[in-house]
Structure 1
Amino acid sequence: MNTKKYKSLREFYPFYLSEHQNTTSRILHFTGTALVVICLIGGILFHDLRFIIAVPFLGYGFAWVGHFFFEKNKPATFQYPAYSLASDFLLFWDLLNGKQSFKAK
């Protein structure tokens, strides 16, 4: 378990990336985050609370499968919930625009 206390998202993000080295895990995180965005938009557009209720199950479900079965590590969410959530969206954006690869270096 990581015992370092991070003071900023900029400081935390490299640690987050080090915990997401497996290609399948990165694909699962990307998919879960994409579904979260779609559900949030759908919930707002269609005024349907079911989309919003699905958000944590989709986001955490895909991510935790990636951690427990592919990364074989404990999700950073348990220790750093806010930084971890923000980093999920940063990784999603970095994968989308090519700044990160699905195959970690």
Structure 2
Amino acid sequence: MSERIATYAEFWPFYLREHSKPVTRWLHFVGTSLGLGIATVAVRSGRGALIPAALVCAYGLAWVGHFGIEKNRPATFKYPLWSFLSDFRMLGLMAVGQLGPHLERAQAGASLPPAPAASKAV
């Protein structure tokens, strides 16, 4: 029987190692973004029937990455809250080009290239 991770500080590097391949991280990014978009439309339009589509987008694309690419079991099965929070943390860091150092510290495989520097006005 495997031991449970006791703290979020220990979980975060584990989470990143479970997302070691860039394609998996991008599937999470796209799936969660689409899921949030669909959920927003569902709430704003009062069309609750769209919520399952939001979940299928978010979880479906993420699970393709885990089962098909990483060949691992999604952490959300064992650590649902920490995984949920970490998805948004990872996506936020990806969006601002700051995930690389976290991946390196976690020894999580291929790093993301740095975000392009903004050009300076002369």
TM-score (ref. length: structure 2): 0.75
Q: Which residue of 2 aligns with 1:104?
A: 110
Q: Which residue of 2 aligns with 1:18?
A: 17
**Whole-Å Cα distance in 2 between the matches of residues 7 and 82 of structure 1?**
13
Alpha-carbon RMSD? 1.9
Query: Does structure 1 residue 64 correspond to structure 2 residue 63?
Result: yes
Moved over 2 A (4+): 3-11
Q: Which residue of 1 aligns with 2:40?
A: 41
TM-score (ref. length: structure 1): 0.85
Structure with the larger RCO, 1 or 2 (CA within 8 Å, 6+ apart): 1
In the alignment, structure 1 segments of 5+ residues that lack a partner are none
> What's the % identity of the aligned pairs?
40
C-alpha displacement at 1:55, in angstroms? 2.2
Q: Which residue of 1 aligns with 2:8?
A: 9
**Whole-Å Cα distance in 2 between the matches of residues 104 and 45 of structure 1?**
39
C-alpha displacement at 1:39, in angstroms? 1.4
Stretch deviating more after TM superposition (53-62 or 26-35): 53-62
In the alignment, structure 2 segments of 5+ residues that lack a partner are 101-108, 112-122
State the number of aligned residues: 103
